[in-house]
Amino acid sequence: MNDNNDILYAFDDYSIETTRGVTLEMVRPDKHPDNPIVPRGKPGDPDAHRAETPAVIYDGGRWRMWYVALTGTDWHRESRVAYAESDDGLIWRKPELGLSEFNGSRKNNLVDNIRGLSTIAVMRDDEAPPERRYVMVGEDMSWYTGWVLEAPSTARIDVSADGLHWTPLRDAPGLLAQMHETATVYKFKGQYHIGGHQVSPLLRLPMQTYPSGDVSMLGPRTFVLWRSPRLDRWPQENTKAFFKPMRSSSPYAEGWDGEQVHLGAAVTPCNNVCLGVYGQWHHPPMFDEQGQAQYDGHAVSVDLGLVLSNDGLHFREPAPGFTLVARDQELGWDRDYRDNEEKDNLLLLQGPLLNTAESTRLYYSAGTPGGNIADTGVNIGLATWPRDRLGYLRMIDERTTGQFVSCTLEYPQEMQLCVNADVPAGSSLQVSLLDEHGLDVLPGYSPMQGGHGVVSGLDVAVCWETSPYLPAGRPFKIRCDMTGKSRVFALYLKTVSR
């Protein structure tokens, strides 16, 4: 997804600035029929209990995955980072790396000795020196002392030349000013971003109150981000990137509604927009005899939702409350729970979105029933969409016409416009260019001059008689006119190869 071209997603209400007669529909993925594609290991393996929080990149013609491995229920202080690779991203192997000793043997898939990371994310940075080509971040539980304001930062940053031999930038707490559960790293507009979730008492949010004023629960989990032009130096302050209120504002819901943002979001940067998959943390309202809200880790469940950002810092849901990946198929996912049909309080843990030529993939992990407790086993799975088809604009009433118009765009060079759309027989999709005010059609760029022949496809070029490309050096807007059952998923603006 991260290239030099711009993409205007149908669900991006900044890029798609105005609409008439159309509505947004979000799309849930298909889950791989052979899930889990990376199951936890057999007894005695480093990942015998958990294989979770997958970090995946396509690198040098192969798919590479790093994930948190736990061999028992001792929680995360003894967790390790394991490695898998694949030729197609579907069938994975756990190679014997010979890098790290485990139970007296080096015949395992552990990278060199990284211990105690409860979450991880990995990025490749081609602009960095070779020894920092790969960047891994995570929450180092060996530094954990509790959720208190004076606690040391648990964020850890490791770098590597090959993705297997890792060196910490600082093998001690303090690189970031406050602790948080680190879950994402990405580079957007030339700056590094590290994020995860924080909880009380490190922050308080609007509408966050407690019946007696006493903090008796952990919460609210909130997506926070740090931004820096340097990987080894960060500001003290962070951005509250995305949150949900601890207490419902609805007159029909009393007390704590338990909705939180688990592990922030796994962010995938594109050239002009960032997509994030976040944990939709659910906790049923529970109160003691004094009416004090209570937390019970056994009752927790987590689905996955979608957020996006146009500045890399402030995220929003394109369809508030929409569940992108629901914990349905996973009821029978794990070998210990094949007959599970009722208990559904599973935790899904987000991973990255990645594109192939034909599909968009989401790698994620799922826990066995039991909530947010150490006893749950975890495996890794895959969900897919046709490429970039996470949401689309369609007609509200197919008997009428509908339009949408982009934000104002301007490029110093000619660009190629392509469309990701379905245009069934009897429907139409016409494309024109407007001035920066959206009032007049630019000469030579009306539908009658060539922008009327858009057909179905993931990447269909739009051309006009006067030019196959968008105008250079002047502002414009893109207008799409739709009829019938047409569905538009995305617009692409691509550099022209001469």
Whether residue 102 is predicted with pLDDT greater than 70 in this model: the reply is yes
174 band by pLDDT with thresholds 50, 70 and 90: confident
Contact 119, 68 (CB under 8 A): yes
Mean pLDDT of 223-228: 97
Q: What residues does each domain of the chain span?
A: 6-26+391-495, 30-386
Could you report the per-residue pLDDT of 302-353, keeping only the tens digit for each?
Answer: 999 999 999 999 999 999 989 999 988 787 787 777 777 777 789 999 999 9
- Residue % of the chain over a pLDDT of 70: 92
Whether residue 249 is predicted with pLDDT greater than 70 in this model: the reply is no
pTM: 0.94
- The C-alpha atoms of residue 37 and residue 53 are separated, in whole angstroms, by 13
Q: What angle do CA 24, 3, 61 make, to 5 degrees?
A: 115
Mean pLDDT of 466-494: 95
Q: Topology of 6-26+391-495 in CATH?
A: Jelly Rolls (2.60.120)
- The C-alpha atoms of residue 206 and residue 31 are separated, in whole angstroms, by 36
Could you report the per-residue pLDDT of 35-64, keeping only the tens digit for each?
Answer: 999 999 999 999 999 999 999 999 989 999
Residue 424 is predicted with a pLDDT of 95
* Domain 30-386 listed as CATH 3.40.710.10: no
252 band by pLDDT with thresholds 50, 70 and 90: very low
Q: How far is CA 453 from CA 316, 471, 486, in A?
A: 34, 19, 13
- The C-alpha atoms of residue 317 and residue 297 are separated, in whole angstroms, by 26
Contact 107, 91 (CB under 8 A): no
Candidate from 14-28, 250-264, 382-396 with smallest mean pLDDT: 250-264
Residue 210 is predicted with a pLDDT of 54
Could you report the per-residue pLDDT of 377-407, keeping only the tens digit for each?
Answer: 999 999 999 999 999 999 999 999 999 999 9
Average pLDDT score, the chain: 90
268 band by pLDDT with thresholds 50, 70 and 90: very high
Whether residue 245 is predicted with pLDDT greater than 80 in this model: the reply is no
Mean pLDDT of 200-214: 68
Whether residue 246 is predicted with pLDDT greater than 60 in this model: the reply is no
Residue 214 is predicted with a pLDDT of 52
Residue 321 is predicted with a pLDDT of 86
Whether residue 188 is predicted with pLDDT greater than 50 in this model: the reply is yes
Mean pLDDT of 65-69: 97
Whether residue 456 is predicted with pLDDT greater than 70 in this model: the reply is yes
Mean pLDDT of 102-131: 94
At residue 281, φ and ψ (nearest 5 deg) are -80, 125
Mean pLDDT of 126-152: 91
Mean pLDDT of 423-445: 95
Mean pLDDT of 462-488: 94
208 band by pLDDT with thresholds 50, 70 and 90: low
Residue 76 is predicted with a pLDDT of 76
